[in-house]
Structure 1
Amino acid sequence: MTQAGGSPRRIAAPLRQEVVEGLRAAIVAAEFAPGERLYENALCERFAVSRTVVREALRQLETEGLVSMVAHRGPVVAVLTPEDARDLYELRAALEGTAGALFAERAGDDERQALEAALAEVEAAFATGDITLELAAKDRFYETLFAGSGNRAITATVRGIKARVQVLRGLSLRTEGRAAVSLQELRDIVQAAAVAADPEAARQACEAHVRNAGVLALAALEASA
């Protein structure tokens, strides 16, 4: 779509999503600290958008649990407490363990090959040492696992906690030595779910991966409290 003079005009909805994705990535990457105030003027300049678009984006991120509206301060980066993290990791262990078991039972050849390809993508991302690429590749790995489980309720539930999970995942992956261990745990998941098609082994591998990440993320949260 163009304006009268023929120049491109950015559309409101895609603009809002662009800001949501950019700000979400910045929060996950710890560019903004927990509890830090988010100034609308600065965000308008950063993303070259109007105050209206920024406010809409902030409202969406509030529903995702990444932004909190504080009286007399305005929007701030939400603070995840150790209690919040424990709740999320308990839920993740249940969801991902079930997804792994169902994947082993239900996935066809195409889904199994897709999970192996997603693992290769994670390996390539981890080789770069870029946390943003690592998190994006892990997201795609889990999307593939959940899709292959054939359970839409799991996928819908995970979508609701995804943003907060990304914050915690970033905390654990920044811990020294975690990346290599995490990668081996994903290999164990693929071996159990896609290669051996062993539901119980897949469940255990998924749950172990979540538990190990949770220990590190909780330690990081408690150290910063």
Structure 2
Amino acid sequence: MITESPTPLRKPDSLRSQVENYLREAIMNGRFKPGEKLSERELCELLDVSRPSLREALRKLEAEKLITMVLHRGPMVSSISLAEARDLYAIRALFESYAVSGFAKLASDEAVARLGDVVQTLKDEAASGDRKRLLAAKADFYDVILNGCGNALIKEMLLSLLSRINLLRATSFSSPDRLPESLKEIDQLYAHIKARNADAAGKAAVLHIQNAEKAALDVLSQEQPLALPTPS
């Protein structure tokens, strides 16, 4: 039963994006669980929006594979299986290590300095305990790298996977020992970038993703996620 009462969403020009953002964040932070059925009536009442506006937002989240539309049942929060998680981490390791290596070689000194600022912000948000801000800081970290890696196609491909990557990122951070280790790995990665050691930076990126994968798969195994329902 949905009982939360946020401020109603009022601006027509940005209504769909506001609904999308609310639902996306609710899924990322565990407010809505994998396999959970979403009541359109309750969501409309909660967000003070019409059903057509809600359904537009749900279609966008379905395209991001965060929502699955199930015949005769309606929208449900998608689950990521262990096999899908492994596939996503394999793609991440391949693309992000390439991007990190490119950034170390090609990024301007200003971009490297900006990355250092973001690393510090990431540490600050980790200390704050705010999961939403922590994930936003991690997204900023990769945004700087993707904008400075010299390969627009890599950025485009990773952005197409962003929602599911962030969902797995949130899962790995839920492991109690993962965050401190993650910050150490990012410090090491940034040190290699600052030294303009592209090869070492790429290897550090792969190690970081492999460790995140282990943490996330451990959590997913314990939760025994349901298989994705067959879409309508």
Q: Quick check: TM above 0.5?
A: yes
Task: Tell me the distance in 2 between the aligned counterparts of 1:75 and 1:29.
Answer: 18
- Work out the CA distance in 2 between the residues paired with 1:55 and 1:43: 10
Instruction: Report how many aligned residue pairs link the two structures.
Output: 216
In structure 2, the partner of 1:181 is 181
Runs of 4+ in 1 over 2 A off after TM superposition: 9-13
Provide the secondary structure at the position in 2 that maps to 1:32: coil
Q: Partner residue of 2:200? A: 201
- What is the distance in 2 between the residues matched to 1:209 and 1:42? 40
1:212 — aligned with what? Answer: 211
What is the aligned partner in structure 2 of residue 39 from structure 1?
Answer: 39
Match for residue 51 of structure 1?
A: 51
Number of the residue aligned with 1:27: 27
**SS in structure 2 of the partner of residue 69 of structure 1:** strand
2:222 alignment counterpart: 223
In the TM superposition, what is the alpha-carbon distance from 1:56 to its structure 2 partner? 0.4
What is the aligned-residue RMSD (CA, Å)? 1.2
What SS does structure 2 have at the residue aligned with 1:80? Answer: coil
2:120 counterpart letter in structure 1: A
Distance 1:121 1:216, change over 3 A: same
Instruction: Note the 1:87-126 alignment, pairs <5 A.
Output: 87-126=87-126
Q: Secondary structure at the match of 1:124?
A: helix
What is the Cα deviation at residue 124 of structure 1? 0.8
Conserved in 2, the CA contact under 8 Å of 1:34 and 1:77?
yes
**Which residue is 2:136 aligned to?**
136
Q: Tell me, what secondary structure is at the counterpart of 1:36?
A: coil
Residue of structure 2 in register with 1:171 after alignment:
171
1:158-197 Cα deviation digits (max 9, x unpaired): 111110111111111010121111111111111111x111
1:38–1:77 contact (8 Å) kept in structure 2: yes
Deviation (angstroms), 1:11? 4.4
In 2, distance between residues paired with 1:150 and 1:10? 40
CA distance in 2, matches of 1:13, 1:199: 44
8 Å CA contact 1:12–1:53 kept in 2: the answer is no
Q: How much has 1:45 moved relative to structure 2?
A: 2.0
Partner of 2:5: none
Alpha-carbon distance in 2 for matches of 1:46, 1:206: 41
Q: CA deviation at 1:49?
A: 1.3
**Alpha-carbon shift at residue 148 of structure 1 (Å):** 1.2
Secondary structure of 1:33's partner? coil
**1:218 is matched by which residue type in structure 2?**
L
Deviation at 1:13, TM superposition (A): 4.4
**2:58 alignment partner, SS class:** helix
Letter in 1 for 2:128: T
Q: What TM-score, normalized to structure 2? A: 0.91
What amino acid is aligned across from residue 47 of structure 1 in structure 2?
L
Residues of 2 paired with 1:47 and 1:120: CA distance?
35
Gaps of 5+ in 1: 1-8
Equivalent positions of 1:145-164 (< 5 A) are 145-164=145-164
Amino acid at match of 1:199: A
The aligned amino acid for 1:17 is S
